Amino acid sequence: MFNRTKVGKYHLQVCGTTPCMIRGAREVIDTIKRHCNVEMDHMSDDGLFTVSEVECLGACVNAPMMQVNNEWVYEDLTPENTINILE
């Protein structure tokens, strides 16, 4: 997947496939959007965050999950621990 527009310093890619959705990926995405004041696939006003929904990231057993900058992986996400990660 290629980014056709500039992304923030932290590109938050949240898995949106079935196992992650069943275990709360939508709530994680909504938490990110509220906390970072950002819309899907857009950069936050401060240039720090972009959130995208992506296909399977390969950690279905520990869903939902997020990959940051194609480097760091966070699993077993909840709205609460997602905020801790963002801060």
Residue with tokens 């279905």: 60
The band of 30, judged by pLDDT with boundaries at 50, 70 and 90, is very high
Fill in the amino acid letter for 26.
R
Residue type, 48: L
What's the whole-number mean pLDDT along residues 71-86? 96
pLDDT at 1 over 80: no
Q: pLDDT-derived band of residue 36, with 50, 70 and 90 as boundaries?
A: very high
Q: pTM for the complete prediction?
A: 0.92
* Mean pLDDT for the chain overall: 95
pLDDT at residue 3 in the model: 83
Closest to 12 (Cα-Cα) out of 35, 62, 21, 60: 35
